[in-house]
Amino acid sequence: QAPATILGIETSCDETAAALVVRDEFGRGTIRSNVVRSQLDEHAAFGGVVPELAARAHVTYLDHIIAQACREAGIPLAQVDAIAATAGPGLIGGVLVGLTTAKALAAALDKPLLGINHLEAHALTARLTDGVPFPYLMLLVSGGHSQFVLVRGVGDYERWGTTIDDALGEAFDKVAKLLSLGHPGGPAVERIAKAGDSHRFKFPRPLLREARMDFSFSGLKTAVRLQAEALAPLADQDVADIAASFQTAVAEIVATRSRQALEQFASRFPGQDMRLVVAGGVAANQTIGTALRAVCAEAGATLIVPPIALCTDNGAMVAWAGAERFALGVHDGLEFVARPRWPL
């Protein structure tokens, strides 16, 4: 397999990102540059991502981010072998900006285009960072997704469960909002929770008694809201205790589901090494990380958490997913269509 240099473009949410990744003849990846411009400031006043503003910011910055990625890598655009861009799922305005830019570059430079599924990019990142062999289990917990995916090979995925309402990161963000902790909520909830008593409130663990592997967080969020309203006006200690009790509830939910997913993996692949890979911004949460480490230790599985900059949205994961598909001879045509919804 000849080495290949791939440009990856990510614009499906509120990160404008581009990266250059080289895949060598042994299938190992090297990140040559990974430039991410977060739009946190643009959206801060609105308490969440505003799709139209996101798309406009991608238009404004993407060209510069791509140029910077090439500069930092020391690789001119003309030397890349293929151009990969997230083509969905995500906020369609932003996806169109990235995909259209990729098409324009592919046409102008006469290089192949690769339309990448954003979830596939998250799913394959652990092969870039840790060279993880197939099959493995991925838990994706971000602002937009909460799901288990069995990763059997490139393009060969099986979703084992998803959220029936909010994503886990979204639940953190909503709880932060109703505790007036600002956006994004995850890091703020985690920080405040350190000073809190996680036993003070027993919040519900929705769906947990059911065998299905799905998540549900909206009932938990409502319970948090009702508790906050009952105690209003909230003292600092109340806020910390609510945050800690909420975080403990979600850690228990995630741990229980992961235990179940590992059991299913073991029965599907007897005797196979078990690996649980975590992706998405919530992977940064240490309470959840500790709970997952305990579950994996108990199940005899290895927990893999790539560096957090690669767990959250970035261009390197898109470039790498492109590299894996390019190595299999996949090229997409310029007619490739963006898909706001695109399950794996």
Task: Give the footprint of Zn ion on this chain (CB under 5 A).
Answer: 142, 313
**Kind of pairing, strands 4-10 and 82-88?**
parallel
Q: In terms of C-beta density within 10 A (0-12 exposed, 13-18 middle, 19 or more buried), how is residue 59 classed?
A: middle
Query: Which tokens in the block code for residue 297?
Result: 């230790």
Report the alpha-carbon distance of residue 336 to residue 192 in Å, rounded. 45
Q: What is the closest distance, in whole angstroms, from the C-beta atom of residue 313 to Zn ion in the complex?
A: 4
CB nearer to ligand KG4: pick between 51 and 187: 187
CA distances from 204 to 119, 141, 240 (A): 29, 19, 18
Print the binding letters for residues 269-298 with ligand KG4: x by CB under 6 A, - otherwise.
Answer: -----------xxx-xx-------------
Distance of alpha carbon 216 from alpha carbon 227, whole angstroms:
19
Least Å distance, CB 148 to Zn ion, is 15
Reduced to 3 states, what is the DSSP secondary structure of residue 150? strand
* Distant-in-sequence, close-in-space partners of 209: CB < 8 Å, separation ≥ 6: none
Q: How far apart are the C-alpha atoms of 60 and 53, rounded to whole Å?
A: 11
Window contacting ligand KG4 (CB under 6 A); options: 3-11, 61-69, 155-163, 164-172: 164-172
**184 contact, one of ligand KG4, Zn ion, none, CB 5-8 Å limit per kind:** ligand KG4
Handedness of CA 245, 173, 45, 187 (dihedral sign): positive
Report the nearest approach of ligand KG4 to the CB of residue 252 (Å). Answer: 15
Q: Are the beta carbons of 139 and 161 closer than 8 angstroms?
A: no
Flag whether 80 is marked binding. no
Rg of the chain over all Cα atoms, to the nearest angstrom: 20
Tell me whether residue 183 is annotated as binding. Answer: no
144 contributes a contact to ligand KG4 by CB under 6 A: yes
Alpha helices in 86-167 (DSSP H): 92-109, 118-130
DSSP 47-68: TS--HHHHHHHHHHHHHHHHHH
CB of 118 to Zn ion, least distance (A): 6
**Contacted entry of Zn ion, ligand KG4, none for residue 282, CB cut-off 5 to 8 Å set by kind:** ligand KG4
Q: Considering beta carbons, is residue 13 or 242 the nearer one to ligand KG4? A: 13
Q: Determine if 143 is a binding residue for ligand KG4 (CB under 6 A).
A: yes
Question: Which C-beta is closer to ligand KG4: that of 260 or that of 314?
Answer: 314
Q: Is 142 in the site for ligand KG4 (CB under 6 A)?
A: yes
**Using CB under 6 A, which of the segments 64-72, 184-192, 211-219, 224-232 binds ligand KG4?**
184-192
Q: Which of 148, 172, 320, 326 binds ligand KG4 (CB under 6 A)?
A: 172
Say whether 285 counts as a known binding-site residue: yes
Closest approach of Cβ 287 to ligand KG4, in Å? 8
3-class SS at 341?
coil
d(CA 192, CA 237): 9
Q: Which residues bind ligand KG4 (CB under 6 A)?
A: 13, 142-144, 169-170, 172-173, 184-187, 190, 280-282, 284-285, 312-313
Q: Which residues are annotated as a binding site?
A: 118, 122, 140-144, 173, 186, 190, 285, 313
Q: Which residues are annotated as a binding site for substrate?
A: 140-144, 173, 186, 190, 285
